[in-house]
């Protein structure tokens, strides 16, 4: 692991680090905010998964999460959204390839060699973090935006024993039924519909739900709302009688202005579960 940068931030440290990833077979970069409390021992962890076109840097610099995480004594992890570098497959479209890993393990060529973002986020990066930093593996929560909201929901429902709470900003809720999903899942996973279903939060909610609190916010003026399909998640949550708060925020769009407006509430929501 290499230190790219470390900056004092709200009494803690905002770091950027790179490492060779076994999961992707590439060098990967991530951001990690450690609050002041990490100097004295392990602190709870909130994972933030970013959306299409993003790197580790977007949420790290735009979401305003560090101020609220510092107040609550939480660490923040900002992974990248795809493998990078020479020899990594890409596509001319912004919503496939680099910046658009969709948090799955690709099985189809040319993606399968490097696009193993599920394993990266759930196995490779956690192992590195808990070995090298003062983080508490027993107190983890997860959130994300757009494609990252899709990732947060599906990962939390697949690994409920790991995460005490889950939240999402403008998540892609039902990718097997949306153009933001069918395209990517078909490219990365091929025609195996069962493999697609394992990465659809609506289908996972119907099948298993999540053993913990859930918070989801979407803006009523979100320019991609027909692709996000929040109404499908609302219906599935109701049918599952899932412990949840799902809100449509009037006037907000898909941008980081929206994310930053509600970040304080999401961090406080997770802190309540992590310190319970």
Residues serving a catalytic function are 146, 222, 254
**Contact of 75 with 46, CB cutoff 8 Å:** yes
The residue written with tokens 């039924």 in the block is: 177
List beta partners, residue 168: 216
Q: Where are the alpha helices (DSSP H) in the chain?
A: 57-62, 65-72, 117-119, 125-132, 147-158, 179-189, 193-197, 201-207, 225-228, 230-240, 256-274
Compute the distance between CA of residue 46 and CA of residue 33 in angstroms, rounded to an integer. 10
Spatial distance between the Cα atoms of 115 and 191, rounded to a whole number of angstroms: 17
Q: Are strands 2-9 and 12-20 parallel, antiparallel or unpaired?
A: antiparallel
Write the DSSP string, 25-84. SSEEEEEEEE-GGGGTS-EEEEEEE--TT--THHHHHHS-HHHHHHHHT-EEEE--SS--
Alpha-carbon distance 150 to 260, whole Å?
18
């Amino acid at each position: 692991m290499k230190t790219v940068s470390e900056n004092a931030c709200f009494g803690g440290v905002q770091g950027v680090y790179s490492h060779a990833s076994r999961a992707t077979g590439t060098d990967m970069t991530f951001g990690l905010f450690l609050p002041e409390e990490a100097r004295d021992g392990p602190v709870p962890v909130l994972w933030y998964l970013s959306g299409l076109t993003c790197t580790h840097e977007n949420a790290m610099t735009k979401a305003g999460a560090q101020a609220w995480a510092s107040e609550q004594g939480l660490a923040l992890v900002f992974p990248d959204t795809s493998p990078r570098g020479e020899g990594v497959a890409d596509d001319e479209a912004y919503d496939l390839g680099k910046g658009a890993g969709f948090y799955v393990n690709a099985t189809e060529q040319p993606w399968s060699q490097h696009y193993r973002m599920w394993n990266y986020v759930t196995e490779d990066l956690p192992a590195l973090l808990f070995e090298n930093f003062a983080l508490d593996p027993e107190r983890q929560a997860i959130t994300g935006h757009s494609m990252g909201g899709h990732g947060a929901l599906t990962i939390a429902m697949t690994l409920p024993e790991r995460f005490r709470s889950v939240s999402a900003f403008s998540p892609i809720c039902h990718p097997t039924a949306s153009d933001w999903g069918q395209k990517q899942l078909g490219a990365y996973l091929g025609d195996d519909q069962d493999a697609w279903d394992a990465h659809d939060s609506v289908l996972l909610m119907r099948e298993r739900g999540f053993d913990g609190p859930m918070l989801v916010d979407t803006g009523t003026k979100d320019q991609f709302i027909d692709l996000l399909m929040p109404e499908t998640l609302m219906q599935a949550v109701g049918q599952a009688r899932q412990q949840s708060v799902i809100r449509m925020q009037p006037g907000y769009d898909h941008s980081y202005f929206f994310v930053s407006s509600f970040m304080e509430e999401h961090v406080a929501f997770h802190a309540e579960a992590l310190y319970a």
